Amino acid sequence: MTSTETRMAGRLGDSPLRPDGTLKVTGEFAYSSDLWHDDMVWGVTLRSPHPSARIRAIDLTDALRVPGVSAILTAKDVPGENAVGLEHLDTPALADGVVRYQGEPVALVAADHPETARRAAARIVVDYEVLPAVTDPRTALDPDTPWVHADHDNLVRDLRIRRGDPSPTAPVVVSLDFEVGMQDQAFLGPESGLAVPDGEGGVDLYVATQWLHVDQGQVCRVLGLPPEQVRLTLAGVGGAFGGREDLSMHVHACLLALHTGKPVKMSYARDESFFGHVHRHPAWLRYEFGARETGELVYAKADILFDGGAYASSTPAVVGNGGTLGLGPYRIPNVHVDARGVYTNNPTCGAMRGFGCVQAAFAHEALMDELADRIGMDRVEIRALNGMVEGDLTITGQVVDSAAPVAELIRTVRDLPLPAEPAGERDIRELPGGASNTTHGEGVRRGIGYAVTYKNVGFSEGFDDYSTARVRLEVVGGEPVATVHTAAAEVGQGLITIEQQICRTELGVEQVVVHPKDTTVGSGGSTSASRQTYVTGGAVKAACEAVRASVLRRASEALGRAELRLDGEKIVAAGGEVVASLAEVLTDPVEETVEWRHRPTYPIDPETGQGNAHVQYAFSAHRAVVDVDVELGLVKVVALDTAQDVGRALNPDAVVGQIQGGSAQGMGLALMEEIVVQDGIVKNPSFTDYLIPTILDMPPMQVKVLEYADPHAPYGVRGVGEPPTISSGPAVAAAIRAATGKPLRRVPVRPEHITF
Amino acid sequence: MDLNTVTGYRRARTRADLALGPGERILGGGTWLYSEPQLDTTGLVDLTTMGWAPLTRTDEGLSIAATCTIAELLAHPDRPPLAVECANALLASSTIWTVATVGGNVCRAFAAAGMVALCAALDGVALVWAPSGGGRHDYRIPVAELATGNGTTSLAPGEVLRALEIPARVLAARTAFRKIALAELGRSGAVLTGRVDPGGEAVFVITAATASPTVLRYPALPGAAALRADVDAAVGYYTDPLGSADWRRQVSGVLLEEIRQELA
């Protein structure tokens, strides 16, 4: 028997059906809010109505009298350390004596029905002494501003980058101030989970999250339990976008479960969800670019301020990205950047898709347009002229050691066909306001805008960024079956599909089972920073290679043959002869577990900001075409086209899906998405008042995918998920500026910014 | 949403049944009542079992029962002008339309309430039943005055909205409509209507942009400057996360001018 090259469907480069796809579109997928246990009780959270207050007393008397209540817990009931946090342990699991933002958890109630628990929570009497709130981040560091945390000042992180001439000059200088509002991740599946006590002092938590092992560590700390007694399993996740990187109900449900001895389910309503997770940092940015009259950038200065809110969350990393990447994908010899994150009594801000780069991109791209206009240069060509190429240095002095096709990306989107110019009487559905019969086109003007960006992939600045994969190969029912087990969270991005594709490709088996994501295998790291296909993909690849080596070693020993290889589900000799089936060799299962790391990164120098902070960069460009009714302030995005280098598209459909979704999220920030906070109070915690783009708002997209493989990454992949969120919004803002002629130095661009 | 504080439910058959006990509330279509926790409500009194005819056409005009659903309003051959536009401004699914009542929407009186916009645009009058006893009497009040703010009305405790009456003289009027929202299917930022009666009187109404309806009346179609001046001088424009007061004033002026021209 002679082998032929086996090509089964569902390998890398294909776009197989997602295992969760049909269930999701038919409404049968079990999200975390669908979790159920027959004898469970319901947990709810009492939250602070004040952004800053001292808790003088908590009276539970009336609440405990509500029939059906099985437990009410406050900070004094925390058995371990009452402190959680991704980077700083500054966040109480339950407020202890002081609250620092509106919505901070103060008490927990477990009852036989969620409404009963809510009624009981409403009867808890908290005696607050309202304190002055720090709500303006621009004065948070002033000497006379109160400290949000008693033990240190309001500075979370201060990052500086100094490169080249400290006092540069240039013949053309442009500067601007920019402001970015607070965006919400707006995932559709609210925070929810189920904690089940094991009867031996431990607990199993089923929860929608992004990073099981870091969750586990934090829950253990608060419960005072070792990891063996706190086991986490990923429940169905309805989107994340960074908003599930911090804890929400995890600790609370476990506290109630261990206290009552019963399974406890917690599921936030939409309004509570707005208080249950962190948001994208609002930012204030002051930029200055200097350039030659021929367009080459000479220097850049930036002062970036992020409002971190009450607790640190991911603010240090957001400052890190905002600072090190905040001047865009350009060659700039002289650099002076200050980036800071501060504490306030506003809602806590942390991880969100794009992570510090989103805010900065609005500023640097607006400034590139202004520079082009000042010297009379084409807005695309000035980006192409200054765009990084492979081998260039970033502003931290790091060599970009794989493709950096900035010029190609921006020219590619420019050259895509434009939508037809409006002419004659128009269908109102195509106009701003659409079918609402708002305008018939009287005040409508068209504008086109461009933007480019780059984003780091994976965790940076020396973080030990790794993932673990366990792959088992065995015969089930006469067929070889691979089981892949990682703790890397599937949040809707398609990781489980990629894990299957890698196994099929590396092991040649058709049947690949994805083990539930849990903490019985090593950490997969966070599903964030566009990293899972790269890092967990790398781990799965490495585990498969180890399994394959074991199988072939076993085959060699059993068959007395050397130089064997796997082809499909067959063992093939060097000459192509099939010497055994895979099933024949797999008399016992083969299992390998691999912990895989990408190349190391390093902390940047605290004085100069120089260093190899990042492992990989991903580049994208957008072109937006908008129609703006300049009298009414409404915007219709007519087209949003993009080009992105993805290294290698392991799953082309998933790549395009990520690009489309990310573009929508960036467009949302440019046009409508903002959590409005006044004096520390959230004014719009609902999807009625917090708008996100719908299918009516999304224009057709032309997506051009470039594949310049990164030689340092598994399969050459490059992170995909975040860049489109970064460059889409600035392109939309630029297009609105082009249509209106207004400077528009704040996003979201609100109607009143256009009409006045 | 479960209302598990509710322990009582009564079907109202007679006017006497509408006397509310402690903790009781009138139930219409329930589309709002069932959408949010109602922790202080212990009983519901169902108004829809009163058996009122949804719409009645008389020589005086059109009487719309408070229990008339929006779907019934739209399907009725005698539906008033602007009914479809104002129903669409409600941004509700057809499922909601089949249970949500015209009276319920008026009594909630949100600034963006489409049925308030409809009634105010057509000089609609609310017939209010006073509670039995206590010496109070039934009365009529223009809907534009019944809605006193964003979510507030002039209704006193125990009073029940019986019907909304549209005078016959406006049913033959020429009308025009504009709506603006930050998102195409978002909550209305401004709803503007214009009406020219057969006798030439012109009425322009602003809702959603002002906390309660703003009615501008003219003996004849006004000029652009006069209308704009009145729009600018109107009070009650408000700011919320979906739009500033200044923007609402600005777009009210622009869109009412379009309406004025359409009616000219």
- Cα A397 to chain centroid distance, Å, stands at 26
Q: Are residues A453 and A493 in the same domain?
A: no
In whole angstroms, what is the distance from residue A192 CA to residue A231 CA? 16
Residue-wise pLDDT tens digits, A641-698? 999 999 999 999 999 999 999 999 999 999 999 999 999 999 999 998 999 999 989 9
List all residues 6 or more positions away from A17 whose beta carbon is below 8 Å from its beta carbon: none
Residue-wise pLDDT tens digits, A545-592? 999 999 999 999 999 999 999 998 999 998 899 999 999 999 999 999
Residues of chain B with Cβ-Cβ distance to A440 below 8 Å are: 258
Q: Are residues A452 and A580 in the same domain?
A: no
Mean pLDDT of chain A: 96
Q: What is the pLDDT at residue A6?
A: 52
Of A116, A438, A694, the CB nearest to B180: A438
Which residues, in sequence order, are bridge partners of residue A279?
A: A349
Q: What angle do CA A381, A384, A389 make, to 5 degrees?
A: 170
Q: Is residue A391 part of a domain?
A: yes
Work out the number of other CB atoms within 10 angstroms of the CB of residue A300: 27
Confidence grade of residue B93 (pLDDT, cut at 50, 70, 90): confident
Report, at the CATH architecture level, how domain B175-263 is classified.
2-Layer Sandwich (3.30)
Q: Which of A207-221, A355-369, B25-39 has the lowest mean pLDDT?
A: B25-39
DSSP code at position A726? H
Q: Does any CB of chain B come closer than 8 Å to the CB of residue A441?
A: no
Q: Which of B126, A571, A488, B249 is nearest to A499 (CA)?
A: A488
Q: Are residues A593 and A621 in the same domain?
A: no
- Cα A196 to chain centroid distance, Å, stands at 29
At the topology level, CATH places domain B55-168 in 3.30.465
- Cα A316 to chain centroid distance, Å, stands at 15
Q: Does any CB of chain B come closer than 8 Å to the CB of residue A695?
A: no
Q: Is residue A328 part of a domain?
A: yes
Q: Does A752 have pLDDT greater than 90?
A: yes
Residue B214 burial (CB < 10 Å; 0-12/13-18/19+)?
buried
Please judge whether B242 and A689 are an interchain contact, meaning their C-beta atoms are less than 8 angstroms apart: yes
Phi, psi torsion values for B161, nearest 5 degrees: -75, 115
Please state, in angstroms and as integers, the Cα–Cα distance from residue A357 to each residue in A180, A314, A456, A688, following that order: 12, 14, 9, 28
Which of A545, A567, A597 lies at the terminal end of a domain, its last residue? A597
Q: Are residues A435 and A410 in the same domain?
A: yes
Continuous segment of H or E residues that includes residue A98? strand A98-99
CATH code assigned at A489: 3.30.365.10
Residue-wise pLDDT tens digits, A357-384? 999 999 999 999 999 999 999 999 999 9
DSSP code at position B52? -
Residues of chain A with Cβ-Cβ distance to B241 below 8 Å are: 674, 676, 683-684, 689-690
Q: Does A4 have pLDDT greater than 50?
A: no
Q: Is residue A644 part of a domain?
A: yes
Which segments of A376-516 does DSSP mark as H helices, in order?
379-386, 406-415, 495-507
Q: Are residues A302 and A411 in the same domain?
A: yes
Structural domain count, chain A: 3
Q: Is residue A19 part of a domain?
A: no
Residues of chain A with Cβ-Cβ distance to B185 below 8 Å are: 694, 696
Please judge whether A436 and B181 are an interchain contact, meaning their C-beta atoms are less than 8 angstroms apart: yes
Cα distance from A12 to chain B (closest Cα, Å)? 40
Q: Is residue A553 part of a domain?
A: yes
Q: Which domain holds residue A497?
A: 466-597
Q: Is residue A384 part of a domain?
A: yes
Confidence grade of residue A433 (pLDDT, cut at 50, 70, 90): confident
Which of A597, A622, A637 lies at the terminal end of a domain, its last residue? A597
Q: What is the pLDDT at residue A1?
A: 43
Q: Does B87 have pLDDT greater than 80?
A: yes
Q: Are residues A306 and A354 in the same domain?
A: yes
CATH code assigned at A53: 3.90.1170.50
Q: Are A680 and A346 in contact (CB under 8 A)?
A: yes
Which of A597, A620, A654 lies at the terminal end of a domain, its last residue? A597
Q: Which of B189, B192, B182, B215 is nearest to B262 (CA)?
A: B192
Q: Which of A302-311, A597-606, B28-37 has the lowest mean pLDDT?
A: B28-37
Q: Are residues A270 and A291 in the same domain?
A: no
Average pLDDT over residues A521-533: 97
Of A437, A672, A696, the CB nearest to B182: A672
Of B2, B37, B250, the CB nearest to A755: B250
Q: Are residues A617 and A658 in the same domain?
A: yes
Continuous segment of H or E residues that includes residue A307? strand A297-309
Q: Does any CB of chain B come closer than 8 Å to the CB of residue A434?
A: yes
Q: Is residue A124 part of a domain?
A: yes
In whole angstroms, what is the distance from residue A593 CA to residue A321 CA? 32
Residue-wise pLDDT tens digits, A627-656? 999 999 999 999 999 999 999 999 999 999
Q: What is the pLDDT at residue A315?
A: 98
Q: Are residues A416 and A471 in the same domain?
A: no
Q: Is residue A172 part of a domain?
A: no
Residue-wise pLDDT tens digits, A465-510? 999 999 999 999 999 999 999 999 999 999 999 999 999 999 999 9
Q: What is the pLDDT at residue A33?
A: 96
Q: Are residues A354 and A442 in the same domain?
A: yes
Q: Locate the domains of chain B by residue range.
A: 8-45, 55-168, 175-263
pTM beyond 0.90: yes
In whole angstroms, what is the distance from residue B141 CA to residue B154 CA? 9
Q: Are residues A477 and A520 in the same domain?
A: yes
Q: Which residue is it, tokens 């608060």? A: A222
Residues of chain A with Cβ-Cβ distance to B250 below 8 Å are: 631-633, 752, 755-756
Q: Are residues A537 and A659 in the same domain?
A: no
